[in-house]
Amino acid sequence: MRAAGCIPLVPYPGSGVPWPCLHEPCGREIAPLYSNVRKRGRACRACAGDARGMARKLQHADEAVELMRAAGFEPLEPYPGSDRPWRCVHEPCGEVRTPTLNTIRANGTACRPCSNLVAGRANWTVEAAERVFLEAGLEPLEPWPGSSSLAWRARHSACGRVVSPRLGNIAAGQGPCRECGQDATHVALRNDHDEAVAVMRAAGLEPLEAFPGVGHPWRCQHEPCGAEVSPTFNNIKRGQGGCLQCAARAAAVRLLMPEEDARSIMAGQGLEPLEPYPGSGKPWQCRHSCGKIVTPTLTNVSLGKGVCRYCNSAFPYDGPAMLYLVVDRDAVKIGCCSRHGRRLDEHRRFGWELAWSVDCPTGDEAYNLEQAVIAWWRDDLGLQPARDSVDMPQFGYTETAAWVEMSPEQVLDKVRELADESGLPAITVRSTEFLTTRPSVPASHLGVRARARQSLPRQDALEF
């Protein structure tokens, strides 16, 4: 092992076991097999590879030297390999260069200054490069990188930005700063203020501020309707309208169904219109074949629904009805129903208690009173529903208010006031103890049996 340049680091392990050693020629730690070293006379794989590479280099060195000399280069050091820089003197110019043999094979030369002269291009010097940058308003922040095609960090004196243009681009006449170039382009392309104002006025728009640019919102007054709008000059120039509301109204008129067709659809459902056609989504006062006056929309009638609430609803709009208020510990709920229906039973099933009820001659009157109370809660007082749809599987959560914000007595006083305003006859109120007394438990989304099972003591609680 020592004859092969190895210093063993551990005792001899056996001929077929790796033996950690230090290879003196290269200083690497290796682990050759003793049997391989005895057979081959060498121990380091890396050194063996280097030796083979050197042998190949020596084999091709003469040919490489001849190729370099044929290209006008005189080598100053031994052949390093085809892809490694080879220090040479370029005889035509006398300068020291470091081309690779592969470059010489591909291009025939590797001296850029000489190639530039042949192609008619100038050879840059540091002084000339700096002069071009300074004349363009650029202050170099680092040495010239040595090539006109490489980025060169500099500060643009006009705006103070740090930029990295290429010397070749600056020498060719390109601008030194992209942002400054874009700003200059915007200024050059910007329309004259008076011309822009003339375009807007031709579209019925009176500008309320200076021209901001072609793509920016421009605050104007739309003369046909007087509304303040903010269209862009580009959109107006393309022919778009400047006012969304006017455009929507124009589209509605343009798309409005002919009244004859609309009346034909209503007549097909037994409806006789009593006023001009207002539009497909607006209530249209009609007389139904039953003699009642209703206000369905053309859209609903076209779908076969909402034709006549008196004929197609389970609620007695033209018969005796009842207005009621049910309560639980946390909320009150207004509602209307048939006098002999099961609506109150549905509420009691989920834990609601009746506070009071009022008989009304017709369901129309009960429904109108209910909607007036809800409008009072939402629009005048700003009260929000106290329940959601999960809490009330029997429906009606939008008709609730919190008990702390609205008591049953307050609702009843409001109903009396609304009835007087509507000219209804004196109402008779049937009240319960919950008109003034608050229930002790909240209503639930569970039925009676489910609540009863939930209230039973658990088995583990009964065990001592």
For residue 170, give both structure tokens: 């600056």
What is the spatial distance between Cα 3 and Cα 167, in angstroms, rounded to a whole number?
60
| pLDDT given for residue 464 in this prediction | 41
The DSSP output letter for 352 is -
Residue 325 to residue 435: CA distance in whole angstroms: 9
DSSP-H helix ranges across 313-404:
343-349, 363-375
DSSP states of 157-210: TTT--EE--BHHHHHTT--S-HHHHHHHHHHHHPPPHHHHHHHHHHTTEEESS-
| Alpha carbon distance 326, 351 (integer Å) | 10
End-to-end CA distance of the chain: 86
β-strands 331-338, 400-402 pairing: antiparallel
Q: What is the 3-state secondary structure (H, E, C) of 3-21?
A: CCCEEECCCCCCCCCECCE
The pLDDT of residue 311 = 85
Q: In what order do the strands lie in the sheet with 293-294?
A: 271-273, 286-288, 293-294
Beta strands in 274-375 (DSSP E): 286-288, 293-294, 321-327, 331-338, 353-360
- Find tokens 């590479």 and name the residue: 53
Q: For residues 96 and 102, what is the distance between their CA atoms, to the nearest angstrom?
A: 18
Residue pointed to by tokens 């081309």: 99
Tell me which residue of 209, 208, 216 sits closest to 186, measured CA to CA.
216
Amino acid (one-letter) located at 324: Y
At 462 the pLDDT is: 45
* 76 Rama sector, left if φ>0, alpha if ψ -120 to 50, beta otherwise: alpha
Backbone angles phi and psi of 126, in degrees to 5: -60, -45
Query: Which helix (H) or strand (E) segment is 253 a member of?
Result: helix 244-255
- Name 269's Cβ contacts closer than 8 Å, sequence gap at least 6: 301, 304, 307
Q: Exposed (0-12), middle (13-18) or buried (19+): which is 369, by Cβ within 10 Å?
A: buried
Tokens of 184: 């200059």
> Look-up: residue for tokens 């004929």?
311
Q: Which two tokens stand for residue 255?
A: 């798309």
If residue 448 lies in a helix (H) or strand (E), which one and from where to where? helix 448-455
Compute the distance between CA of residue 89 and CA of residue 73 in angstroms, rounded to an integer: 5
Bridge partners, 334 (sequence order): 325
Q: Specify the amino acid at residue 37.
A: V
d(CA 227, CA 451): 59
Closest CA to 150 of 170, 127, 134, 120: 170
- Tell me what pLDDT residue 155 has: 94
Which residues have C-beta within 8 Å of that of residue 367, sequence separation ≥ 6? 315, 317, 321, 336
Residues of the chain with pLDDT under 50: 460-464
Q: pTM of the full predicted structure?
A: 0.47
Identify the pLDDT of residue 461.
46
Q: What's the confidence (pLDDT) of residue 457?
A: 59
